[in-house]
Amino acid sequence: MGKKPKQGRVLPRSIIESGRKPTAWKPRRGLVRLSHSRQKLFDRLMKLPGNTALRELNLLPNGNRLLVKMEHQNKPTGSHYDRVYPHLLWALERTGINPNRFVLCETSSGNATPAFGYFSRRLGYRTIAFLPAELSETRKNLTRQQCDQVVVADSKKHGWGVFGAANAMREALEKNKAERQTDPNTKALWSVNHSQVTESIHAIRGLAREIIRQLHGRQPDYFVGIVGNGTILYGVGKELKRRFPRIKIIGVETVERPVLHQAKHPGQYEIEYGKNPPTIGEMAGQEFFAPGTGALGVDFPHLFDAARICSKIVLVSRREMEEALKELSGKKFQVGHTSAMSYVAAQKIASRTKGKIIVGIFYDHINRY
Ligand SMILES: Cc1ncc(COP(=O)(O)O)c(C=O)c1O
């Protein structure tokens, strides 16, 4: 069996400063060969997600067409993360992680941890999820249903949003390390850390390939992707760009948390809004609006790569998002905040162009908020 792979850092300083590369899980001694029955279990789990529809929404002006991948209908837990975890866990086991010696942990803004818990549980792992203090109770409960233990960050001690959740996880990892020094029988806490590893980019390739197949030869002009941790924006954007080199990749963020916008268009926010964007410290006490986008204070290495392939970052205000939610719900699309933000971005693009094909994603259902 291969030795434990090298663990990536949990919380570096800031996305704009560090320029850090994602971690790749590497065994110290050769990849582990999984038993036939274990591999069959993984094969079964990998078949659960995917094959979501690519639907055309006749909602754009100027003869522009919007094609949306219905990732909120993914199985088993209802987001694009259903595609990510079977692959991540398979890759981890190949490097030597197994349920006998390891407990898995993960952070999330509400979609990753339900999928993480669902798949890990079926593979026999005990799981711990670390969540932002400000996440809605609905979102916390989705994770509670799938994970063995949920630790909600203490906003005063750990900080706001995803930053707080990552700090709470780091604290637990350090505590576990100390415990193992005194009791070598204690299981090691292993942070899957989906947002930091190259394997999540490999895992999401299937989504891009489905989109390409479902386009049936049509050439998309734009892909609008939420700037979360970069799994979708870079993972899907990169594959689409490889197949359609002229496509423009557009990142979408909230006006409140313009993380990649700051890196991509420095100084522009200050000119447009007449103020600096809020810092993580200034977010204290504020609601966690639009989970899954603009994680202040946490370094996401895929966003550096995303910045390279993105033509532009579009900012969406809370009012615009709320109006879009109402409009989409009126058309029977009961989707969540980031789906509505993607729709707003598509409308903004469509107002300035004619006869283009815009591809977007519906990430999750409104009942998850
Ligand atoms: C609701 C929602 N939308 C969009 C995203 C962005 O996805 P990613 O960060 O995986 O690219 C996330 C990520 O957590 C999310 O929860």
Q: Matching CATH topology for 46-75+203-368 and 81-198?
A: yes
**Residue 259: CB within 6 Å of ligand 1?**
no
pLDDT band at 26 (very low <50, low <70, confident <90, very high): confident
Ligand 1 pocket test target in 250, 305, 363 with most atoms within 8 Å of CB: 363
Q: Check pLDDT > 80 for residue 7.
A: no
Q: Check pLDDT > 60 for residue 15.
A: no
pLDDT band at 2 (very low <50, low <70, confident <90, very high): very low
Task: Say if residues 54 and 48 touch (Cβ distance below 8 Å).
Answer: no
Cα-to-centroid distance, 228 and ligand 1 (Å)? 5
Report the alpha-carbon distance of residue 177 to residue 85 in Å, rounded. Answer: 25
Report the alpha-carbon distance of residue 207 to residue 230 in Å, rounded. Answer: 14
Q: What is the mean pLDDT of residues 355-364?
A: 98
Amino acid, single-letter form, for residue 338? T
Q: Check pLDDT > 50 for residue 181.
A: yes
Q: Check pLDDT > 90 for residue 178.
A: yes
pLDDT tens figures, 35-56: 999 999 999 999 999 999 999 9
Q: Whose CA is nearest to atom 2 of ligand 1?
A: 292
Backbone region of residue 158 per phi and psi (left: phi > 0; alpha: psi in -120 to 50; beta: other values): alpha
pLDDT band at 153 (very low <50, low <70, confident <90, very high): very high
Report the alpha-carbon distance of residue 355 to residue 357 in Å, rounded. Answer: 7
- The mean predicted confidence, pLDDT, of the chain is 93
Q: Check pLDDT > 70 for residue 5.
A: no
Give the CATH class of 46-75+203-368: alpha beta
Q: Check pLDDT > 60 for residue 223.
A: yes
Task: Say if residues 351 and 58 touch (Cβ distance below 8 Å).
Answer: no
| Buried-exposed string 180-218: b where 16+ CB fall within 10 A, e elsewhere | eeeeeeebbbbbbbbbbbbbbbebbebbbebbbebbeee
Cα-to-centroid distance, 363 and ligand 1 (Å)? 7
Report the alpha-carbon distance of residue 229 to residue 292 in Å, rounded. Answer: 8
Report the alpha-carbon distance of residue 255 to residue 120 in Å, rounded. Answer: 35
**Residue 229: CB within 6 Å of ligand 1?**
yes
Per-residue tokens: 44: 């079964």
Cβ-proximal residues to 320 (8 Å cutoff; 6+ apart), any chain: 341, 344
Q: Whose CA is nearest to atom 15 of ligand 1?
A: 292
pLDDT band at 19 (very low <50, low <70, confident <90, very high): low
Report the alpha-carbon distance of residue 46 to residue 101 in Å, rounded. Answer: 23
Cα-to-centroid distance, 112 and ligand 1 (Å)? 8
DSSP string, 287-302: ---STTS--TT---HH
Distance of alpha carbon 26 from the chain centroid: 22
- In 10 A of CB 271, how many CB atoms? 8
* Nearest atom, ligand 1, residue 364 CA: 1
Cα-to-centroid distance, 186 and ligand 1 (Å)? 33
Ranges of each domain in the chain? 46-75+203-368, 81-198
Cβ-proximal residues to 105 (8 Å cutoff; 6+ apart), any chain: 127, 128, 129, 130, 169, 172, 173, 189, 190, 191, 192
Q: Check pLDDT > 50 for residue 8.
A: no
For the domain bounded by 81-198, which CATH number is listed? 3.40.50.1100
pLDDT tens figures, 249-298: 999 999 999 999 988 898 999 999 999 999 999 999 999 999 999 888 88
Q: Check pLDDT > 80 for residue 156.
A: yes
Torsion (CA) 317, 322, 327, 332 in degrees, nearest 10:
130
pLDDT tens figures, 310-340: 999 999 999 999 999 999 999 999 999 999 9
Q: What is the mean pLDDT of residues 216-227?
A: 98
Q: Whose CA is nearest to atom 4 of ligand 1?
A: 292
**Residue 235: CB within 6 Å of ligand 1?**
no
Report the alpha-carbon distance of residue 81 to residue 78 in Å, rounded. Answer: 8
